[in-house]
């Protein structure tokens, strides 16, 4: 590693600082902290109800933490509304795929580029020269991404008719169109069969390697997390249970207890 990379590596890209979320009387997250480093694949695991999705929703600004802070490159994201998250380089996919079902694949990906382009309704209606230039630049990028994720053949197909696995790739393509620095993946393995899960794992790693994108993987599928994550954070009942390399977390007695139960419970 060069000096610059080392220096960058020491500064977390995303820092979750003591985040708590309280719904009514229920504490969904209780003082969770962790850092995400540049280029890392961080797996966030935990049994049902552990607070994974709550944390995910704080990152994508759907929930407001009751206390604590979330810093992206040192700046708090908590004052940003959900639609101003993409522009600072946070992209996401959804648990059960949330595409725009009536749009074609290519239009879904084009919407992904919304945060990286600009226009206004008057210029758009008149198709002014700068609008056309912007569209053609964007189309080039969109086609690159479609090619990268092997979606060129279905580019003009309406997404609602596509197989689930393909829809997941479209969602990834849409997220990539916003040039994210960090990609939040909400249970990407859900609904996929054994083989598809490993293909997906390779793809996530490839995206990280090729595009230098940091990945936060919220996942139930232990096999996937353990095989591709560099770093794992385990939650249970809203608290951080363990953190470390996959091997460390897997061997952690608290984690084993949370997943399997123990004799003295």
Partner 1 sequence: MSAAEEVEVVTEGQAVEAVPKRAMTLGYGTSLVVLAALVLIPLFVKNFIIFQMTMLLIYGLAVLALNILTGGSGQFSLGQSAFYAVGAYTSAILMEHAGMNYALTLPIAGIVCFGFGFLFGQPALRLSGVYLALATFALATAMPQLLKLGYFEHWTGGVQGLVVTKPDAPFGLPLSQDMWLYYFTLVVTIAIYVASVNLLRSRSGRAFMAIRDNEIAASAMGVDVALYKTLAFGVSAGITGVAGGLGAIAVQFVAPDGYTIQLAISLFLGMVVGGVGWLPGSIVGSAFIIFVPNIAEGISKGLSGAVFGVLLFLVIFLVPHGARQVAIVAQQLAAKLKKN
Site mask for partner 1 (CB under 8 A), range 126-155, x = bound: xx---x--xx--------------------
Contact with partner 1 (CB under 8 A): which of 69, 73, 107, 230? 107
For partner 1, which stretch binds (CB under 8 A), given 11-19, 120-128, 142-150, 187-195? 120-128
Please tell me whether residue 95 binds partner 1 under the rule CB under 8 A.
Answer: no
φ, ψ for residue 231, nearest 5 deg: -145, 140
Looking at the Cβ atoms of 6 and 129, the one nearer to partner 1 is: 129
Cβ 13 to partner 1 shortest distance, Å: 19
Phi, psi of 178 (to 5 degrees): -90, 10
Told to check if 252 binds partner 1 by CB under 8 A, we report no
According to CB under 8 A, which one of 2, 48, 79, 125 is a site residue for partner 1? 125
CB 225 within 8 A of CB 43: yes
Q: How far apart are CA 28 and CA 245, in angstroms?
A: 25
Residues constituting the chain? 265
Distances in Å between the Cα of 166 and the Cα atoms of 34, 152, 184, 221 are 32, 12, 18, 19
Residues forming contacts to partner 1 in the complex (CB under 8 A) are 60, 62, 82-87, 91-92, 94, 98-104, 107, 110-112, 114-121, 124-127, 131, 134-135, 156-158, 161, 174, 178
């Amino acid at each position: 590693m060069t000096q610059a990379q080392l220096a960058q590596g020491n500064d977390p890209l995303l820092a979750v600082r003591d985040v708590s979320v309280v719904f009514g009387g229920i504490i969904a997250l209780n003082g969770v902290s962790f850092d995400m480093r540049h280029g890392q694949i961080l797996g966030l695991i935990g049994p049902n109800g552990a607070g994974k999705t709550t944390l995910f929703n704080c990152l994508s600004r759907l929930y407001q933490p009751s206390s604590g802070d979330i810093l992206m490159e040192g700046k708090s994201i908590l004052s940003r509304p959900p639609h101003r998250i993409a522009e600072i380089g946070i992209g996401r996919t959804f648990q059960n795929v949330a595409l725009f079902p009536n749009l074609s694949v290519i239009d879904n990906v084009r919407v992904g580029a919304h945060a990286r382009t600009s226009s206004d309704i008057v210029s758009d209606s008149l198709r002014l020269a700068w609008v056309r230039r912007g569209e053609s630049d964007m189309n080039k990028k969109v086609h690159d991404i479609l090619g990268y994720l092997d979606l060129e053949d279905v580019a003009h197909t309406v997404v609602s008719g596509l197989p689930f696995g393909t829809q997941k790739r479209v969602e990834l393509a849409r997220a990539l169109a916003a040039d994210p620095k960090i990609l939040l993946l909400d249970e990407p393995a859900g609904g996929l069969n054994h083989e598809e899960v490993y293909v997906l794992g390779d793809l996530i790693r490839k995206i990280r390697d090729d595009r230098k994108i940091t990945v936060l993987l919220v996942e139930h599928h232990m096999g996937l997390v353990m095989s591709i994550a560099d770093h794992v954070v385990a939650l249970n009942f809203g608290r951080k249970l363990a953190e470390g390399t996959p091997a460390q977390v897997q061997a952690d007695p608290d984690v084993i207890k949370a997943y399997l139960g123990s004799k003295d419970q």
